[in-house]
Structure 1
């Protein structure tokens, strides 16, 4: 979280008082005494906000405001004056000041303005990061959001799958975006200039398969829910793969195909042919740190599509998102973001507020998040995580089983 505040005031006593007020509020002040000193710290990627006196020897607060706007028009600057000059306040706001405060300023008033400025700055920098990610030439970086180790691992796996000239199996829980990931694999592959043809394998006949393969010539055929493909069509698909048709096959499933093989519902040869290169999509519950980033992206996307200004995403909103398990994964989060952007409802996946949950469920969510954090800190080494939490190994594994957590997902 951004907590840096650049304090600019030529009066040393005032500087120290302002810095102390900010420090007591767990902020990170950097106090300087002039425009020249402040200038060295101002940059377009400055992860903080500015609080400056207006009346200073040499170049004053208005000069500082103009300079800041020339470097980054979206960097919040709050100006202070001891004169209570209304025309000066109007001038400051007209020149793009984020806020205007009269000295002496009550700490509560000061902190309220600074907190709003910090939230605004955080949103601006996050939006810039997302925009840069979208504009990169790497489809995996551009289209797979998140900063967690699991998100980076997914991007790496997609890149590898894209370049590997084999069939690909994309797996994940419902709502994780299997179709989207399959298309990104296609975009990372030598077949990227060819067509990307999507087809549901459920109930797919041989004629349907032939038509889909013909449409995907020179490109990629994505067959979703591959485990539901009829047995005779599975055999036909295997024959086509053996003939090395000029079509790259990507299959998707939310089911356990190994179990389907054991039950005789999945052709074992086809399964092993598809399972050479597997791309597993982690669920949101496995990478909760990515939820705020994904939500902001979806809100910005929905707002742009609707021609609306994105609403403020407050810490309370983020806290509400993080308190949920999101069994519907990215699809549910996207729907929640759309409702939020349009002002149509809560951000929760359902109508349940976190504060309305029973004590046992709230405690369970806290315990689950602590287990995930412990595994993430040690890269999935279960024994070490159990030791750090001061839990017997059996107790630790029992808790992992209760919450469906697997250490290997955090490596």
Structure 2
């Protein structure tokens, strides 16, 4: 996605020259010659990055930074100056500037800073959209994420299935989230107060399936992987569904039940009874545009569970995730998010790894997390981990970790 840059500089010649440089580099540039002009573009919804000269007549770059922070504390503002003034840089950083660069700035340095700021902005806006989605709308909108047409179609189909009030067959590949879809159908149809019971069909006995129906009375029973139901229980279930009008049954499967009927492994009448309303969950391979949204959601969940800060998701990583087929679907993506938060996504433990190798990965992850949390300040990170400074640096050297890579503010 092309990053938008709001470029603020009162020197029109320099502004035009820098605009040309940025446009050649692939950025969309909005020009503003003063604080008054620039402030009209700054808001909570601005989806870009602000780059402002500091020394301008009237209200300068610091005034613009202060205004931007009031409008949206998470809006990245990069300050430019030709003075090389260290106290000025300190003032900019303490005021919440994302970066501070000295003019003339090398193109690659500027691009690197803009790209980091753009990724940070994208993550903030996406997190806000997801939180708004969680607060608003029905259960389908709150719990089934994705911006693609296939995600919209899934939510709509789930709503239709809930409104129909019949038995539902939820089909999806392994790890696609059949239980989540079943829960959403239940919430839309019966509400949160009605019981929702989940059971794995494989291994159920007549007694346990009776108990499950009793527990779900007046609500919903979800039988996961219905193809695992034994032949005698298939007949029992078919008979029970004729009598039980109080419990909604939702069955989940990743197998083709029609093929199982042809093989004599599943009762044809039960398929007809279960398949009154079918909801098919598209695989991640079919909707790669949803992968970044889901991954960011899972990363936020994993970071909260592990009490760690969310690591930066680079555009390179997003491209790599979207290029994969994900045969394990949402479950595999969720596991990848947890590994990413723990700092082991690029080199997950193998079957040959011993305890020392696995402990080393965890130690490296904790070092990286501490540096990220303390903005690359090694002394603060060492103190947080209760390590002597020399020991901390020895550990960084052991894992080839550079503290400066975790500093979010450019000062040169």
Q: TM-score, normalised by structure 1?
A: 0.82
How far has the Cα of 1:264 moved from its partner?
A: 2.4
- 2:49 and 2:220 map into 1 onto residues whose CA distance is 48
2:229 match: 229
CA contact (8 A) 1:191 1:220 kept: no
How far has the Cα of 1:349 moved from its partner?
A: 12
2:324 match: 324
| Root-mean-square deviation over aligned CA pairs | 1.7
SS of 1:50 mapped into structure 2 = strand
SS of 1:249 mapped into structure 2 = strand
1:13 match: 13
SS of 1:308 mapped into structure 2 = coil
1:178 match: 178
Q: List per-residue Cα deviations over 1:38-83 (Å, max 9, x = no partner).
A: 1111110101010111111111111111110110000001111122
Q: List per-residue Cα deviations over 1:149-178 (Å, max 9, x = no partner).
A: 111111111111112110000011111111
SS of 2:330 mapped into structure 1 = helix
SS of 1:47 mapped into structure 2 = coil
1:394 match: none
CA contact (8 A) 2:2 2:26 kept: no
1:147-162 aligned at under 5 Å gives the runs 147-162=147-162
1:205 match: 205
1:56 match: 56
How far has the Cα of 1:261 moved from its partner?
A: 1.6
2:104 match: 104
1:82-161 aligned at under 5 Å gives the runs 82-161=82-161
5+ long unaligned stretches in structure 1? 352-411
CA contact (8 A) 2:4 2:28 kept: yes
How far has the Cα of 1:191 moved from its partner?
A: 4.7
Work out the number of aligned pairs and report it: 351
2:262 match: 262
2:362 match: none
Structure 1 segments of 4+ aligned residues over 4 angstroms from their partners: 347-351
CA contact (8 A) 1:332 1:349 kept: no
Q: List per-residue Cα deviations over 1:226-260 (Å, max 9, x = no partner).
A: 12212222222122211233111100111111112
SS of 1:188 mapped into structure 2 = helix
CA contact (8 A) 1:135 1:142 kept: yes
1:301 match: 301
- 2:346 and 2:197 map into 1 onto residues whose CA distance is 36
Q: List per-residue Cα deviations over 1:297-342 (Å, max 9, x = no partner).
A: 1111111100001111111211221222111111111111111111
CA contact (8 A) 1:191 1:248 kept: no
Greater relative CO (CA pairs within 8 A, separation 6+) = 2
The 3 A distance-change label for structure 1 pair 97 and 191 is: closer
CA contact (8 A) 1:65 1:77 kept: yes
CA contact (8 A) 2:166 2:276 kept: yes
2:164 match: 164
1:23 match: 23
- 2:110 and 2:335 map into 1 onto residues whose CA distance is 37
SS of 2:140 mapped into structure 1 = helix
2:239 match: 239
CA contact (8 A) 1:320 1:347 kept: no
Q: List per-residue Cα deviations over 1:1-28 (Å, max 9, x = no partner).
A: 2511001111101110111111010100
SS of 1:250 mapped into structure 2 = strand
The 3 A distance-change label for structure 1 pair 174 and 208 is: same
- 1:161 and 1:350 map into 2 onto residues whose CA distance is 42
CA contact (8 A) 2:175 2:328 kept: yes
CA contact (8 A) 2:339 2:348 kept: no
